[in-house]
Structure 1
């Protein structure tokens, strides 16, 4: 669950500032991404865990309302539902996560639900659950010939054997700098880092760049960037989750990378025009209108 505090500016270290308002809204990267896929009309199943508290009930009810299949979301009595405290201004946000029941989404729970992964077209995962669960999900998907997408957030170093099981890596610039061990300050440096990564792991890298859009390597191995739409920004929370959801929906539909990235950027651009990660999720019709 997201606990969102809106403010005019971020506080400095040791400083107290007055916020404008606080909202409690459904969230979590996995939940946002699953809801985004379902909103875009794709059959979506989520493997996860919540507590048996009020937040857990609200999240499950919301997932069902969004059209996400929830039979693989475990409910635990002995731990609380994971929360994210989100501090946001009109320009940016920062987030503190308390995992709670997310830590109960174990490799064993993933294994128990392996059939759901094996029957998928695309398997999208992120790092708000234990790393062994992520690795098991990637292994099962790879063995079944399912396309794998890893959104490496929250950022952390990852073992090479895990990265080798990823077809598409979707970091933001900060996350990619941590993983690659180098901070790209120019377009040429970003291109070189992405080329090096692709050669090392055989993984396509899709780097999200906030208001600057999203970059990938084209068929010639050169950097290509799809710019964000010019919109009035209300809340950037969940924009990356929306992008991941839309990108995976297009992959599942058989789209080529340039088309999938373009669609994903349009979806993410629309998402920031509304408040809340899931409230801002666009519909296919809303995205389609941006092409006209």
Structure 2
């Protein structure tokens, strides 16, 4: 397999993760069991996932000048992600407050911080996108920047994979430049009509794997290995990054690889900390 060049444009946060038996209802106070600070953010997670899965990956994003910034940069570097496109913005980095219960399910609140300053592409961003085989985007940075990136990618024959999360209204201009949409079942229901807008739609189904439908209407499904779930945080991002690495080999191969990576990501606490490396994925990849 030729190593694909992947540019990931998106968010990077410090995740503040609390574990508890049950997540609190409105107005309720519960006792937590543990606390950890784990680098995350949908963009960074997907970049780390793509790099660990074997892609040559560059991250285009922003960190602040706070105490979290050095660790956020370091986790990308440790995962062999090219950080020459990582900007430093005066002020706080993005953070996410995450509560994980005993079933592995989570509740997340994101505060954008430096991510909100990503209001336009730099010349270096444009160069990286034009050179890439695949551009991966999400929606935790300003929409106008995502749209500009997708437009620039299309103009340079770079495949655009969009994970439209958190769900919000998107312009038809953005949809016109998207080749692959990756959504979970809830997002698919909220967005509706995806097959009329995007040639390839991939829907993640949690423990049941994922489903792809292409422009000809044909469907492909895949599942990952059975695992003991500890924390689902970052599993979807791991799936998306891994999918990008193998997309050039066809949806069926990409889906099988991504489902395996996503399953493995649920076996440890935290987002970036749980993302598997290529050797770990290959060791359990269904034949």
What TM-score, normalized to structure 2? 0.91
For the aligned residues, what is the CA RMSD? 1.5
Higher relative contact order, chain-length normalized (CA < 8 Å, sep 6+):
2
Alignment of 1:169-188 (within 5 A): 169-180=181-192
Asked whether 1:98 is paired with 2:92, we answer: no
Q: Secondary structure at the match of 2:108?
A: strand
What TM-score, normalized to structure 1? 0.89
Deviations 1:252-271 (A, max 9, x none): xx211011011100000011
Cα distance in structure 2, aligned partners of 1:137 and 1:115? 11
Deviations 1:198-240 (A, max 9, x none): 2x22421101111121111267624433233211011111000
Cα distance in structure 2, aligned partners of 1:217 and 1:42? 24
Asked whether 1:266 is paired with 2:260, we answer: yes
Quick one: which of 131, 147, 154 aligns to 2:159? 147
Match of 1:16 in 2: 29
Q: Does structure 1 retain, via aligned residues, the 8 Å contact 2:15–2:97?
A: yes
Moved over 3 A (4+): none
Deviation of 1:144 after TM superposition, in Å, equals 0.2
Question: CA 1:162–1:218 in structure 2 vs 1: closer, same or farther (change >3 Å)?
Answer: closer
Quick one: which of 39, 51, 54 aligns to 1:26? 39
Cα distance in structure 2, aligned partners of 1:53 and 1:202? 39
Q: Give 1 or 2: higher strand fraction.
A: 2
Q: Does structure 2 retain, via aligned residues, the 8 Å contact 1:158–1:179?
A: no
Cα distance in structure 1, aligned partners of 2:96 and 2:205? 22
Cα distance in structure 1, aligned partners of 2:215 and 2:150? 25
Question: CA 1:9–1:165 in structure 2 vs 1: closer, same or farther (change >3 Å)?
Answer: same
Asked whether 1:255 is paired with 2:256, we answer: no
Asked whether 1:160 is paired with 2:154, we answer: no
Q: Does structure 1 retain, via aligned residues, the 8 Å contact 2:188–2:194?
A: no
Match of 1:231 in 2: 227
Q: Secondary structure at the match of 1:248?
A: helix
Q: Secondary structure at the match of 1:26?
A: strand
Deviates more, 1:95-104 or 1:55-64: 55-64
Deviation of 1:197 after TM superposition, in Å, equals 2.9
Deviates more, 1:127-136 or 1:218-227: 218-227
Match of 2:136 in 1: 124
Question: CA 1:122–1:218 in structure 2 vs 1: closer, same or farther (change >3 Å)?
Answer: closer
Q: Does structure 2 retain, via aligned residues, the 8 Å contact 1:157–1:178?
A: no
Cα distance in structure 1, aligned partners of 2:118 and 2:109? 19
Quick one: which of 202, 208, 213 aligns to 1:206? 202
Q: Does structure 1 retain, via aligned residues, the 8 Å contact 2:85–2:124?
A: no
Quick one: which of 118, 127, 135 aligns to 1:115? 127
Asked whether 1:59 is paired with 2:72, we answer: yes
Q: Does structure 1 retain, via aligned residues, the 8 Å contact 2:52–2:80?
A: yes
Q: Secondary structure at the match of 1:113?
A: helix
